[in-house]
Chains A and B, each alone.
Chain A
Amino acid sequence: MIEMKNVYKVYDNGVTALNGVSTTIKDGEFVYVVGPSGAGKSSFIKMMYREEISTKGQVSINHVDVSDMKLKEVPFLRRGIGVIFQDFKLLPTLTVYENVAFALEVIEEHPKKIRRRVMDVLDRVGLKHKARFIPAQLSGGEQQRVAIARAIVNSPKIVIADEPTGNLDPETSWEIMRIFEEINTSGTTVIMATHSKEIVNKIRRRVIAMENGKIVRDEHRGEYGYED
């Protein structure tokens, strides 16, 4: 469960990104975060994996206050959260297999386990046959699937995606969404910031709309609500 209580975030340059945000996201939910650029969507989700720390207010993941967390504990928080970005953030010199295995190697997982779990997860995103390719040999959609594979290879309870379809054409976007739905069906919480009206309006889920650092709308099975 993710809980935010009256969270403020003011950056060093004086910009207020979050202006008193409170919300609760239960285990297994699927949540869209929508709103115009600069509304605070990215800051909102960065709070959850402690990429940013709140200036005021409380952010807790499974009843653990992350703003209070010791630096040593942060890696363990992040092992329970998979993060996906618009620009994939794959390492260009590594193969598909190596990119995914990387996430397990750096947390010192046993080599035998790594091999099995990487192949499993590549199978889930439909890229087992391209394990030896490097990212440049893949399409955008395929690269994003590798990034998703990397995010879920450690079986996180929460998956956070910051505009995962932002760089992809509509058809590819639907493929990606299918994978997210599958992940969510298996019990994982999915939080996705997006600008895609089509996706939000077609696959109806909870919608949190943000403007000027505040939550202005929070609807079960909501609509996108903006004309882009």
Chain B
Amino acid sequence: MRTRYIQRGAEVSEFSQIPIWRRMNKKDLIQIGFGLFVVFFVLSSYITAVLHLLPYDPLKINLKEMMQSPDYKHILGTDFMGRDILSRIIVGSQAYFMPGLLSIIIALFFGIMAGLVSGYNGGMTDSIISYILDIIDSIPKMVIILLAIAFFRPGIYFIMLIVGITNIPAVASLIKSKVIFLKKRNFIEAGKALGLKSRDIIFKHILWYNCKAIVIIQATLGMAEVILIETSLSYLGFGVQEPEPSWGNMVAAGKDYFFMGDFYLSTAPAIAILVSILGFYLLGDGLNNALEWRRKR
């Protein structure tokens, strides 16, 4: 009888059957964990707000307790109007999250459609779609947003709609190059030869098996970008207005106090921005590494 030296492990095929948690190494796990933590934090801000679990009312002005340093009562201190900073930071994530989801959904939905049609059909359809998307791609995002703001005086949702639209070309181009890659490698032809329905080929095989990584990365990167844009706009005064808290306008409000020696007013929201963007980046990176494992040995 042969002795088996190693019992665990399965055959590694192109689509690895080794369960995901076995494939990941420590680094990826940490990244994904961190990212999920951030997501959890953001989601919890909605829950706590709804359930009135916030430490303090973020809008409540209390002039008696202005500009206090962090202490046991106010974990992150208070701002220049006596409002609790921690509560404001918790609620601040609501300024971008839902609108951000809108932006991501639009970018992904239309981007995937455009990419699929472009790549699958090729020819004239491809040229037309590419042309239109290229036009959108040629103008820097911020320029479009500024113009839109000046023209339409929109709410944050409209702005995020525009951000979503400006992200469509990137998604479409990634999906399209993936489809062309699969075409070149005859995966699609093989599928047709096997008699698979077109619909199956597209949804199950192309999208689910092959484009998962792209979608996840674009979604997480998209959210990170949304945070950046929303906070930048609020900082510039275009987004969420006082007294509603947004991390951007908190930084803006606090910046004048720098020279008086009070840093935390500006720094606390800045760190919140930093951690959130970092979280989404790492989440996307870690998931990508975990999913692309089958390429390596």
Q: Do A and B come from one complex?
A: no
List the interface of chain B (C-beta within 8 A of A): none
